[in-house]
Structure formats: structure tokens, C-alpha cells
Structure 1
Amino acid sequence: MSQVVFYVFATEEKSNSVAISAHFAHACRVAAFFYAQNKKVFIYTDSQEDAFAVDEYLWQFDGDSFVPHNLLGEGPKFGTPVEISWQAPVHPRPILINLSQKTPDFAINFQKIIDFVPYPEPQKIAARIRYSTYKKMGLTLSTQTVDNNSTAESTNKTED
């Protein structure tokens, strides 16, 4: 059964980069974490523009630790450890990082789904709908609060 973790931004989002929102930046940190564990990750976005923004951010992400990534259809035949797209994945991967405002139709195919509850109210509403959809799918749900002033996170809730 797939496990879904929602990262909840408790305060207004702040990012070190003007070009990318805090939850996108956090998604890149999560992707780097899974890459360090030798896990393949698929980052799903709403649009080509968002996918390009995540791709560009990962190139500049951390000078000390490169995260191999590519946009879907670019790079090696079976992709790099982190693949980014606004379209459904071609090859199976264990981890989905959802940056879309919608629940992907293909989400059930992943072992672990990372999703976000950004601070702005319209995005919170969309996240609540995704949470409800995942719950109806019978997935295991948990939340973690992200403190924008530090990297500390705390687990708040788990549901089956």
C-alpha cells in the first residue's frame, strides 16, 4: 500500500530563491534526500514552466552535492535518479513528489508519495482535496509541519 506524506507549511512561505516557491525548494531537498538513499524519484508538476523551474533550481541547488536529474524524455534511456515532468512517467519509480494542484491519476503506482500544503489559502484548499482523494484511495496518510525559519520538521498525524 502506498504511503503519502504531506509537508504542511505553517507560516508564509519564504525561499532563498526569488524564482521558486518554498514548497518547490523543499521538494528539491526531499528529492536530494531520496537520491542519497539510492531511490529513484519522479517530480510531477502542473506545467512545463513549473518543471523547467524545478529543473533549473536543481542545477543550482547545492554546490557540494549534485542531484542527477532530467526532464522526462531527456537524458539517458531510463532517466536519471530524479526525473521531472508535467506529464505521466514512462518508467516506474518508487517515489513521487507531487507539485501539482491535482491528484495524479498514476499516484497509486508509487510506493511513497510526497505532497505539500503551501501556506496560501487557495493552495491549502487544493491540498485538502488531494488529501481527501488519497484517503478515499485507501492510502496511508501522514503530515509533517515545515518551519520556514529552520529545517526542523515534526510529525503531526498518521492515518490509515
Structure 2
Amino acid sequence: MPRVEFYVLPDSDPRQRLKVACQLAGKAWRAGLTVFIRGADEADCEALDNLLWSYRSASFIPHNRHEDGADAPVVIGVDQQPAHAQGLLINLHPDLPADPERYSRVIEIVNQAPELLTICREHFRQYRQRGYAPQRVEL
């Protein structure tokens, strides 16, 4: 059963969610985990792909969009299945992942946008109903 965490941001800037996703992906990759970043849509995936190239000028995080190579250490997609299981899932999608048990860890990134707060509160309840013990992490 994966560890499920909700990382709570203090603002409502949607770009900050993407930046934190990139930071967490880099940290997990450096720790030896494979990472799947599940964007809300193709625009999110495009923004994440661009941000992973540029958000930190002194480092590189090897990544691919799912359609360009699902076996990269960090993969960005929407509803595709990553090539590697048992790593980290960063879920930015408004729906719960269909198969969270494929991962050793699931992170949902929450900001203070009212609609997103509602979605993430429901995710928190659904994880609990499924037997997970989600934790809240304030950033």
C-alpha cells in the first residue's frame, strides 16, 4: 500500500503547483525513484515538460512525455500507464488515479484555489475510504 501525501501550498498560483511537482520529481529521481507526473491535461504536460528543462539552470532531470518514451526516469502523462511501477506518482489530475497501488508513494499537490481545494478534499476522503492513510504536508 503506497504512502499518500497531500502537499499544501499557501497560495493559489497554478504555476507554483507545477514548479513544486518538478522539485519533487527531481528530489525523488536523485533518491533513485522512478517518477510519473500525471498532469490534468495536455497543456499541463506541455508546461511540465518545458519547466523540467528550465526551472533549475544548474541541473538536469532526465524526463520524457509518455508518448516520447515511457521508460525515462521521470515520465509526464495524463492517463497512460508508466513503464515502471513502485516509484512515485505526482497526481495533478482532478481525478484519483485508477491504480495507486502500483506506486510506493503518491503525492497530490494542493493550492488555495477554491475549486482545487474541493477536489483535493474529496480525494483525501476517497483515499481514506479505500483504506489508505493520507497525510497532510504544509509547504
Q: Which band: TM-score by shorter chain?
A: over 0.9
Q: 1:79: how far off?
A: 1.7
- Cα deviations across residues 88-114 of structure 1 (Å, max 9, x unaligned)? 224233110001111111222211001
Q: 1:74: how far off?
A: 0.8
- Cα deviations across residues 62-81 of structure 1 (Å, max 9, x unaligned)? 11110000000213xx5211
Match of 2:47 in 1: 53
Do the aligned partners of 1:2 and 1:140 also contact (CA within 8 Å) in 2? no
Match of 1:36 in 2: 30
Task: Please give the alpha-carbon distance, in whole angstroms, between the structure 1 residues aligned to 2:7 and 2:135.
Answer: 9
Match of 1:74 in 2: 68
Task: Please give the alpha-carbon distance, in whole angstroms, between the structure 2 residues aligned to 1:120 and 1:142.
Answer: 20
Structure ranking higher in helix proportion: 2
Task: Please give the alpha-carbon distance, in whole angstroms, between the structure 2 residues aligned to 1:108 and 1:119.
Answer: 27
May I ask how many residue pairs the two structures share in their alignment? 138
- Paired residues for 1:65-144 under 5 Å: 65-75=59-69, 79-93=71-85, 94-144=87-137
Unaligned runs of 5+ in 2: none
Q: Output the TM-score relative to the length of structure 1.
A: 0.81
Do the aligned partners of 1:51 and 1:85 also contact (CA within 8 Å) in 2? yes
Output the aligned Cα RMSD. Answer: 1.4
Aligned amino acid, residue 101 of structure 1: P
- Aligned-residue sequence identity (percent) comes to 25
Task: Please give the alpha-carbon distance, in whole angstroms, between the structure 2 residues aligned to 1:98 and 1:92.
Answer: 16
Runs of 4+ with >4 A deviation:
none
Do the aligned partners of 2:2 and 2:105 also contact (CA within 8 Å) in 1? yes
| Bigger relative CO (Cα 8 Å, ≥ 6 apart) | 2
Task: Please give the alpha-carbon distance, in whole angstroms, between the structure 1 residues aligned to 2:133 and 2:29.
Answer: 23
Q: Output the TM-score relative to the length of structure 2.
A: 0.92
Unaligned runs of 5+ in 1: 15-19, 147-160
Do the aligned partners of 1:8 and 1:116 also contact (CA within 8 Å) in 2? yes
